[in-house]
Amino acid sequence: MAAPIAEELAKKQQAISVAEFFEKNRQILGFDSAPRSLITTVKEAVDNSLDACEEADVLPDILVQIERADKDNLTVIVEDNGPGIVKKQIPKVFGKLLYGSRFHALKQSRGQQGIGISASVLYSQLTAGRPTKVISTIGHGLHAHYYELMINTSTNEPEILKDNIVDWDRPHGTRVELEIEASYVKGRRQSIFEYLKATAIVNPHARITLIEPDGNEVLFDRATDKLPVPSKEILPHPHGIELGTLMKMLRYTQRQRLGAFLRYSFTKIGLLTAEEICRAAGLDPETDPRSLTRDQAKKLLEAFKKVKIMSPPTDCLSPIGEDLIYKGLEKEFSVDFIATTTRTPSVFSGNPFVVEVGIAYGGNLGKDDRIEIMRFANRVPLLYQQGGCVTTHAVESIKWKQYGLNQPGGGIPTGSAVLLIHVASTNVPFTSESKDAIADIPEIKDEVELAIKEVSRKFNHYLTKQGSLKKRREKEIIITKVLPRMAAKLAETLEKDVPDINPVVAKIMGNLLVSRHIKKNGDGSADISIRVKNFGTRLHKFKMHEMVPYHITNVVPEPKVVTMGNDFDYIWEIGVSPDASKVLKYTVESLSDDEISRLPEIIVEGVEEEIVTGAKAIKGVI
């Protein structure tokens, strides 16, 4: 008698390892094209290096080298100065998918799933048929371990082809080398150069060196020596728990009382809150949590919503900070204006998160194209699926015309601007395993919109001010063209010297008038005074720099002195009210007519050049 068809079908059924699954579905992880496969491979290695260095309290120094292996393949080398990996863990870190230390940890980190670098190893052996080479050492004077390995996709276990001890000149760190089928592109937003540039902006404490296939070397230097504040692991928050997860926690807890289970399994639940939750659920705090039924667990979940529970702590997050975002943008872009903001932390589904935004404008940025949106999640650039990301949707929902940018047809505005958006969270809700876009979570979208509007108001204020200064500049150009001619004609008629017109220009324009006056004495010395008159309608505070090649005496008031070789920079901090004047005085022991003719221009630091007459004005620090 023939066997039932079900038995025949049962013979064909078998378990599938996670490595086999991703072997046939590598596009899910970001290996769906030659250029993107390269970016994904570099991204996973660099993320691991940054995380390892920060956890070891080491300023990251990372080398990314791309070499041509043959016509279709590239060799990717990523080397860091992190703490290294202990010998027995090296094969598992690189040769086993879903193996890592961060999946169960509730804190901000770049990688959590344990897929990244091992997926790159899998892609390497699929497309190039070669093993991955790894060198790692954990301390000065200790051996460096060299492995060549592949992944057994049937078992999802590493296959070690070589295991040697080698000499390596690094005191600690890791080096990984993979050959992959990929292509190196330049001049595109989705390229290795742009990825590393973006990484350098939001990781200003890192130094990253890129060596391109043609041997060209690019250095993304660090802008600060200060490491990010490390994030701390927290317990799950009750508002983010689902019924099935709660039932699993109840079933496997070691606590023997429900009250103790609540206090030690969740964050922000103390003794009184635990008792209040139990009362709201109609449960005895002394009950064994492992004995709770599905209906009782459901009542407990409902009680979480009824009882007021404090928001989760935010020390599990490590935002970049306004100052470092500013430095990162300033380091990588030549622009005229930058504004940044870091919002106060918020919560979605029990997960704390914080949104940071920076806007850079002007300089060398294109004027007619759409503004560039730089998206980041936990300090990692998001280069793909921009249209499907909540950050892009937030940008498109804003009426940009009121902030000074055109928005033809709605959508992304146009103009010479870069908008940086960073979302940091213990659980970034990505739309897919490749982690290219953030899901449309209402709480996140609201925070992104508020942050963008905050920097956009500063930006609009800058544009308004620049428009006003432009009008002043145009008016002053006309005045400075007409008045000299009038003064010269009048002097010629009266047969007198041409007068200094700076006081007249300053008064008409409402500017700060700066002038140096020199009185020579019979002994060869000279008394010098610098006079500042404010013809404007508001208080101006600034620094005055007198940069001269000699010592000065009898100084009133006393300045700060900075020595620069054979020259001296005398610096006064001054505040001048409307219609008020200030006078700075000093004496020079010897000053010839030739030296007087070569005296440098006085420098005013901290005000716009359009409102200063008689001196050189700069906005930044010398």
Q: Token match 């020259």: residue?
A: 567
pLDDT at residue 621 in the model: 45
Across-strand partners of 513?
533, 613
Q: SS3 of 63, please? A: strand
Residues 156-207 pLDDT 10s: 888 899 999 998 888 899 999 999 998 998 877 788 999 999 999 999 999 9
The CATH classification number of 322-464 equals 3.30.230.10
- How confident is residue 507, by pLDDT bands cut at 50, 70 and 90? confident
Alpha-carbon distance of 534 to 365, in angstroms, equals 36
* Range picked from 14-18, 119-123, 555-559 for highest mean pLDDT: 555-559
pLDDT at residue 216 in the model: 93
Residues 341-370 pLDDT 10s: 999 888 887 788 999 999 998 888 877 788
Q: Which CATH number fits domain 18-186: 1.10.1670.10, 1.20.1250.20, 3.20.20.210, 3.30.565.10?
A: 3.30.565.10
Domain residue ranges of the chain, discontinuous segments joined by + = 18-186, 238-306, 322-464, 502-618
CA dihedral over 401, 404, 407, 410, signed as positive or negative: negative
pLDDT at residue 622 in the model: 38
Answer whether residue 114 shows pLDDT above 50.
Answer: no
Phi, psi of 80 (to 5 degrees): -135, 170
Answer whether residue 514 shows pLDDT above 90.
Answer: yes
Provide CB contacts within 8 A for 126, sequence distance 6+. Answer: 23, 26
Q: Which of 368-372, 422-426, 457-461 has the lowest mean pLDDT?
A: 368-372
- How confident is residue 404, by pLDDT bands cut at 50, 70 and 90? confident
CATH architecture assigned to 238-306: Orthogonal Bundle (1.10)
Same fold, 238-306 and 322-464: no
pLDDT at residue 104 in the model: 47
Fold observed for domain 502-618: Immunoglobulin-like (2.60.40)
What is the percentage of the chain residues whose pLDDT exceeds 70? 90
Tell me the pairing of strands 372-377 and 417-425: parallel
Structure-token pair, residue 305: 């919503």
Higher-confidence residue: 372 or 29?
Answer: 372
pTM of the model: 0.71
Residues 207-222 pLDDT 10s: 999 999 999 999 999 9
Q: SS3 of 331, please? A: helix
Tell me the pairing of strands 380-382 and 351-361: unpaired
What is the percentage of the chain residues whose pLDDT exceeds 90? 42
pLDDT at residue 10 in the model: 67
Answer whether residue 12 shows pLDDT above 70.
Answer: no
- How confident is residue 22, by pLDDT bands cut at 50, 70 and 90? low
- How confident is residue 118, by pLDDT bands cut at 50, 70 and 90? confident
pLDDT at residue 565 in the model: 78
Q: Token match 């200064």: residue?
A: 469
Higher-confidence residue: 383 or 60?
Answer: 60
pLDDT at residue 314 in the model: 78
Alpha-carbon distance of 502 to 3, in angstroms, equals 108
Answer whether residue 483 shows pLDDT above 80.
Answer: no
Residues 242-254 pLDDT 10s: 888 889 889 999 9
Answer whether residue 113 shows pLDDT above 70.
Answer: no
Q: Are 458 and 446 in contact (CB under 8 A)?
A: no
Q: Which of 27-36, 77-86, 163-172, 383-392 has the lowest mean pLDDT?
A: 27-36
Q: Which of 150-159, 278-287, 416-425, 438-447 has the lowest mean pLDDT?
A: 150-159
466-479 CB burial, b ≥16 within 10 A, e <16: beeeeebbeebeee
